[in-house]
């Protein structure tokens, strides 16, 4: 999968995903690595080797001299195959993985060994391995042209079918019944407030408090739930700060009418208004605030 990924300029994870989608059965780790990197691969064991393996099974231990000879033989076998043991050195491994930010697969190819061997020595030297998410992010950072965004995405321009929408709905409903999933989603929203919301909070009085952290949920007549960004203390008034990226094409009047149906007056600002014309935003906010 790593080799196919290199040909296509994507990570092995992308290849794995498409193999699964196309119903192509993956090789097991044993099938993929069986004998491939062993110096005795394809060779028949001698009688002496068979005898030694039999002794090993009975608990026989090699002497230090025998261990040195076996290590030397393995080293020579690796050199014949074009391999090396540079990854045995912690400083070299740290330089390649942490400083140069090479992947385990890339380091393995430099040493003609499998990526699992590199992972073993990273763990041995307490070098923290990157998570799959960090590895994918780093790959696309180094290879921006490989990112499957926009027209490069196979689903670009395609509309979801009714069946796909229903499947997504069922999956989402099932996930929200899982307490761990709910906790994870709520932690992700702790990054609020957004930058425009922070600016607005700094330029307005303390009576206008931030409630966008799920502190003021309201239910509309159509059954939908909404949590405003700001609430004016002691007044039935709320303020929303909309980002152009997320709300482009939406009509603020529709939201204002929905809040009025539940007894709340609403004022909506766009993020670019806060950036470009803060004086007008402050004037409108003060007028909205004093009306109460």
> What's the confidence (pLDDT) of residue 180?
86
Q: Is residue 279 part of a domain?
A: yes
Is the domain of 218 the same as that of 104?
no
- Would you say residue 218 lies in a domain? yes
Q: pLDDT digit string (tens) for 60-99?
A: 666 777 777 776 665 555 555 545 678 888 899 999 999 8
In whole angstroms, what is the distance from residue 47 CA to residue 51 CA? 6
CATH number of the domain bearing residue 210:
3.40.960.10
Residue 186 placed within a domain: no
Single out the residue of 11, 37, 34 nearest to residue 112, CA to CA.
Answer: 37
Asked which of 158, 185, 205 is the last residue of a domain, the reply is 158
Whether 113 is covered by a domain: the verdict is: yes
Q: Answer yes or no: do 9 and 150 share one domain.
A: yes
Residues 90 and 11 in one domain: yes
Question: What is the three-class DSSP state of 256?
Answer: helix
Res. 234: pLDDT tops 80:
yes
Q: What is the pLDDT of residues 86-145, one digit of tens each?
A: 888 889 999 999 989 999 989 988 888 888 889 988 998 999 888 887 888 888 888 877
215: how many CB neighbours lie within 10 A of its CB?
11
Query: Does residue 86 sit in the same domain as residue 227?
Result: no
Same domain, 16 and 112: yes
Confidence check: pLDDT of 292 > 60: no
Residue 222 shares a structural domain with residue 131: no
Distance CA 231, CA 234 (A): 9
**Over 80: is that where the pLDDT of 151 sits?**
no
pLDDT at 190: 60
276 shares its domain with 143: no
Alpha helix segments (H runs only) across 143-277: 162-175, 179-188, 195-203, 244-247, 252-261, 271-276
Q: For the chain, how many structural domains are there in total? A: 2
CA 78 to chain centre: 36
What are the tokens at 253? 């009047």
State whether residue 126 is helix, strand or coil: coil
Range of the domain at 134: 1-25+78-158
Which one of 100, 130, 158 terminates a domain?
Answer: 158
214 within 8 A of 193, measured Cβ to Cβ: no
Same domain, 200 and 154: no
* Of 139, 158, 177, the domain-final residue: 158
Q: What is the mean pLDDT of residues 169-189?
A: 82
The verdict on 147 and 207 lying in the same domain is no
Residues 96, 5 share a domain: yes
Element (H, E) at 127: none
SS3 266: strand
* H helix count then E strand count, the chain: 16, 6
* Whether 204 and 123 share a structural domain: no
Question: Residue 65: inside a domain, yes or no?
Answer: no
One-letter-per-residue 3-state SS of 93-121: HHHHHHHCCCCHHHHHHHHCCCHHHHHHH
Residue 280, in any domain of the structure: yes
Residues 154 and 201 in one domain: no
**Domain-embedded: residue 221:** yes
The whole-model pTM stands at 0.40
**Does residue 237 contact residue 259 with C-beta atoms inside 8 Å?**
no
In a domain, 261, yes or no: yes
């Amino acid at each position: 999968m790593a080799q196919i990924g290199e040909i296509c300029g994507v990570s092995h994870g992308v290849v794995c995903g498409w193999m699964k989608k196309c119903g192509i059965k993956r090789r097991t780790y044993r099938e993929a690595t069986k004998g491939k990197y062993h110096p005795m691969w394809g060779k028949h064991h001698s009688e002496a080797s068979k005898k030694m393996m039999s002794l090993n099974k009975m608990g026989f231990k090699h002497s230090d001299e025998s261990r040195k000879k076996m290590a030397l033989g393995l080293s020579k076998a690796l050199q014949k195959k074009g391999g090396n043991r540079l990854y045995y050195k912690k400083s070299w491994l740290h330089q390649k993985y942490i400083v140069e930010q090479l992947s385990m697969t890339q380091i393995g190819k430099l040493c003609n060994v499998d990526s699992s061997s590199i992972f073993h020595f990273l763990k041995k030297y307490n070098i923290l391995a990157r998570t799959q998410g960090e590895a994918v992010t780093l790959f696309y950072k180094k290879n921006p042209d490989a990112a499957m965004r926009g027209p490069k995405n196979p689903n670009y321009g395609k509309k979801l079918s009714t069946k796909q929408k229903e499947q997504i709905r069922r999956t989402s409903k099932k996930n929200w019944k899982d307490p761990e999933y709910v906790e994870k989603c709520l932690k992700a929203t702790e990054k609020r407030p957004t930058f425009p919301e922070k600016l607005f909070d700094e330029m307005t009085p303390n009576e206008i408090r931030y409630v966008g952290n799920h502190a003021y949920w309201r239910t509309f007549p159509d059954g939908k739930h909404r949590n405003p960004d700001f609430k004016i203390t002691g007044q039935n008034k709320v303020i929303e700060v909309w980002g152009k990226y997320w709300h482009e094409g939406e009509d603020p009047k529709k939201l204002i009418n929905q809040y009025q149906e539940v007894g709340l007056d609403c004022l909506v600002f766009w993020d670019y208004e806060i950036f470009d014309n803060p004086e007008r935003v402050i004037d409108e906010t003060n007028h909205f605030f004093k009306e109460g």
